[in-house]
């Protein structure tokens, strides 16, 4: 029986992280009598041995809170860890140091909460001999082998709420409103929020857009007397034959590409081709923040409980995943083997088309 587990949150924050932490601590202590060590600031804490005990008092009152009480980082990969000496930064492999830190702290298994980048690191540590159980976290919902990641539904609600508010001002001023949302390689947020928020056009990475087709949708609406339109665009959307709009690169990050600017690019082009006044809103990190909705609180809690149950039963090298209505273990290697894109024949895509939403093609 495992006596002590560690838990960390890696990568970008999202609503529901604290629900998972709370569930892990409450079930580990209350059901199995385990100790739980919180590892602070993601894998940085694992390298620098920033561990603190987590008891029931530590997780009291955190279910509704956004963010993570453990802190997080998307820059500190222990296999390529930044070490500065005499003003010069080099990237070195400190993965063995992580294993030594866990061993001396008595941590027998790591619960790693993260997206594809963090769970890829967790898989490598597992291959070095550290038992790991992953919990799927990303607002993009693009982790393979699970139907839903926690945080996604809350992000969809945030985007849907923004569309609702943009709708009234668009209609009042006869404008085209463009809303840029997250979604680097997968358009799940844009598609779901677009359907829920009554968007007229949804642009996402899986379907390169033809600007003339987008203009046709907006012009046709204007000709029918609808002198406003709502366009939602994922940050990773790109024109047919073109590339994603990259704002900057971040050295040392597990995913150094920072996207941004597609909303302004699309907005300027639409104003030119339609002759209608256009405004752009970039939702940005609002999608990551705030209190999780009920769905994500429940899913995060289920994931946390399942992770501890599987640890107690001797499982490791797995990720807990929602498949249908059940939480099941899937190999970590499978979970991070590829991203989950929106299939072009997916029911949501077909639903959008059948209610007249333009997808840019």
> Can you tell me the distance from the alpha carbon of 141 to that of 188, in angstroms, rounded to the nearest whole number?
7
- Which SS3 state, helix, strand or coil, does residue 181 take? strand
Report the chain's C-alpha Rg in angstroms: 22
Calpha distance 349→361 (Å, rounded): 12
| Cα 37 to Cα 3, 15, 50, 93, 102, distances in angstroms | 11, 21, 10, 24, 10
Residues whose CB falls within 8 Å of the CB of residue 1, separated by 6 or more in sequence, listed in order: 32, 312
Residue 140 falls in the annotated catalytic set: yes
CA–CA–CA angle 242, 248, 250 (5° rounding): 130
Active-site residue, selected from the candidate residues 140, 142, 200, 296: 140
Question: Is the distance from CB of 317 to CB of 131 less than 8 angstroms?
Answer: yes
Q: Position of tokens 């690169």?
A: 249
Please answer whether residues 28 and 5 qualify as being in contact, where contact means their C-beta atoms are separated by less than 8 angstroms.
yes
CB 321 within 8 A of CB 219: no
How distant, in Å, are the alpha carbons of 42, 147, 219, 332 from that of 11?
Answer: 7, 20, 41, 17
**What residues contact 16, with CB distance under 8 A and at least 6 apart?**
137, 150, 151, 154, 292, 296, 297, 299, 300
**What residues have CB less than 8 Å from 307, skipping those under 6 apart?**
20, 24, 111, 133, 135, 320
Residues acting as catalytic residues: 140
């Amino acid at each position: 029986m495992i006596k002590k587990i560690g838990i960390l949150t890696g990568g970008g924050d999202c609503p529901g992280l604290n629900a998972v932490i709370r569930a892990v601590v409450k079930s580990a202590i209350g059901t199995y009598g385990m100790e739980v060590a919180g590892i602070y600031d993601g894998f940085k804490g694992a390298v620098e041995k920033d561990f603190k005990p987590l008891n029931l008092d530590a997780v009291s009152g955190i279910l509704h809170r956004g963010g993570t009480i453990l802190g997080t980082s998307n820059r500190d990969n222990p296999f390529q860890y930044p070490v500065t000496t005499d003003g010069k930064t080099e990237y070195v492999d400190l993965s063995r140091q992580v294993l030594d830190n866990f061993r001396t702290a008595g941590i027998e298994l790591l619960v790693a909460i993260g997206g594809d980048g963090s769970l890829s690191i967790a898989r490598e540590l597992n291959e070095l001999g550290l038992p790991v159980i992953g919990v799927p976290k990303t607002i993009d919902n693009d982790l393979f082998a699970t139907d839903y990641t926690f945080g996604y539904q809350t992000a969809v609600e945030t985007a849907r709420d923004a569309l609702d508010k943009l709708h009234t001002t668009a209609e009042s001023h006869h404008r085209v409103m463009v809303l840029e949302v997250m979604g680097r390689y997968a358009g799940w947020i844009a598609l779901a929020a677009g359907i829920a928020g009554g968007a007229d056009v949804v642009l996402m990475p899986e379907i390169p857009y033809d600007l003339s087709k987008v203009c046709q949708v907006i012009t046709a609406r204007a000709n029918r007397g609808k002198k406003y339109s709502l366009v939602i665009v994922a940050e990773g959307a790109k024109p047919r034959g073109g590339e994603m709009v990259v704002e900057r690169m971040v050295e040392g990050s597990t995913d150094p590409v920072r996207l941004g600017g597609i909303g302004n690019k699309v907005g300027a082009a639409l104003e030119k081709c339609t002759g209608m006044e256009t405004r752009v809103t970039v939702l940005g990190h609002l999608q990551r923040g705030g209190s999780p909705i009920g769905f994500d609180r429940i899913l995060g809690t289920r994931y946390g409980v399942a992770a501890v149950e599987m640890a107690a039963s001797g499982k490791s090298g797995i990720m807990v995943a929602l498949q249908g209505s059940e939480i099941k273990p899937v190999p970590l290697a499978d979970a991070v083997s590829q991203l989950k894109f929106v299939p072009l024949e997916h029911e949501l895509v077909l639903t959008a088309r059948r209610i007249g939403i333009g997808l840019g093609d």
